[in-house]
Amino acid sequence: MRKAVRKAVLGGMPCVAECGGFLYLHQSMEGSDGESYPMANVLEARAYRTDRMGRFGYVTLTAEKDNLLCRAGETLPGHEFHYWESTDPGAGFIARKPQSDRKWDCVHTSARLYAGFPHFHFASRPEAARRFTAACVRYREELQ
């Protein structure tokens, strides 16, 4: 399955991978037992366990550049909570905490990829859902 996912994503299949899906796209992931396990090897990054929950709560994601779901400057509301971290969390979006100055880079993006810790809901930005669907249709047409 890891090889099939790697082949599909690197072959251009549109992919939205949030949190656990994002971790699955890593080269490897440290388990709660401290052992390292191979993942799909799509992203050049390793996932590792932390001692506490990280970046818990709501965020506003602002796209740094055009990508699968957003144009540069557009936003997605989301939330984060995780006990794992990544050696490369991405830089396609900036996450900002509401009513705070706290912010950080996150999410690997391209014309066919959204891969990062933040969760979002397509109903919060229907245009993102339309863009994802359109990318899927284009991909299917390319295969024919």
pLDDT in tens, 35-85: 999 999 999 999 999 888 777 789 999 999 999 999 999 999 999 988 899
Q: What pTM does this model have?
A: 0.94
CB 86, CB 46: distance < 8 Å: yes
From the CB of residue 102, how many other CB atoms can be counted at a distance below 10 Å? 12
Residue 1 carries which side chain, given as an amino acid letter?
M
Amino acid at position 53, single letter: M
Active site residue ranges: 19
Percent of all residues in the chain with a pLDDT value above 90, rounded to a whole number: 88
d(CA 86, CA 92): 15
Can you count the helices (H) and strands (E) in the chain? 3, 10
| AA letter at 38 | P
Amino acid at 108: H
